[in-house]
Chains A and B, each alone.
Chain A
Amino acid sequence: QQQVKQSPQSLIVQKGGISIINCAYENTAFDYFPWYQQFPGKGPALLIAIRPDVSEKKEGRFTISFNKSAKQFSLHIMDSQPGDSATYFCAATTQSGYSTLTFGKGTMLLVSP
């Protein structure tokens, strides 16, 4: 059972455009939702994260929107740059106890110059 569904699988955006990646979760016990960025040959790097007590969190060009009732959250990359080309993973976990991350399958983003 896939607990975190991510879409799209791949995405091509022009430089300066907005990249949008969506995720949906099933387990209502999840209360922490991070996004990771992974470049080829590297490990995932924590990009930004949100808790369900807020509907939006912004850090620079990256924004997470969160809809608790729909059990959905999304990553928006504003003014996308070629250097943003990477694979992005959404994840979910609980803040209590021994937290383990449940990942989506990833979105391969290509920002064309």
Chain B
Amino acid sequence: DAGVTQSPTHLIKTRGQQVTLRCSPKSGHDTVSWYQQALGQGPQFIFQYYEEEERQRGNFPDRFSGHQFPNYSSELNVNALLLGDSALYLCASSSLGGVTYEQYFGPGTRLTVT
């Protein structure tokens, strides 16, 4: 049973560029949440997707957007990258039909903005 997978593993971008990160949820899960983890900090909630719609959003600017596909996989897009966007981006999956509070994380994508 595959867990949560994310791609790519690492990414280096330049300020002002745009980036897309991808996530496939754990088998049987239909809800995907994205978190940003700055170095030395706990993960911060960005947004959550269910049924291809954004259901919840944390305190992140509109430069952060997402999408969920019919197969429950998801993308996180960040426009106009800033140096402060450098972080580990984590995807977590859960099952709205079951227990959404029990979230399982992928390995993350390490984004470096130069």
Q: Interface residues, chain A, CB within 8 Å of chain B? A: 6, 32, 34, 36, 41-46, 49, 89, 91, 93-95, 97-106
Contact = CB atoms under 8 A, between A and B. Distances in A.
B100 A99 contact: yes
A99 B45 CA distance: 11
Contact of B102 (A49, A100, A105): A49
A9 to B, nearest CB: 9
B42 A105 contact: yes
25 contacts: A34-B101, A41-B107, A42-B108, A43-B90, A43-B105, A43-B106, A43-B107, A44-B43, A45-B105, A46-B105, A89-B42, A93-B101, A94-B101, A97-B100, A98-B96, A98-B100, A99-B103, A101-B33, A101-B35, A103-B42, A103-B43, A103-B44, A106-B40, A106-B41, A106-B42
Contacts of A106: 40-42
Nearest to B100: A99
A46 B104 contact: yes
Contact of A46 (B6, B45, B103): B103
The range of chain B's interface size is 20 to 34
B86 interface: no
Interface of B: 4, 6, 31, 33, 35, 40-45, 48, 50, 55-56, 58, 90, 92, 94, 96, 99-108
B33 A100 contact: yes
Given A89-B42, A105-B42, A44 B105 contact: yes
A14 B5 CA distance: 35
Nearest to A51: B101
Nearest to A106: B42
Contact of A101 (B6, B50, B103): B103
B55 to A, nearest CB: 5
Contacts of B42: 6, 89, 91, 103-106
Given A43-B90, A44-B90, A89-B42, A98 B105 contact: no
B107 A99 contact: no
Contacts of A98: 31, 48, 50, 55-56, 96, 100
Given A44-B43, A93-B101, A100 B56 contact: yes
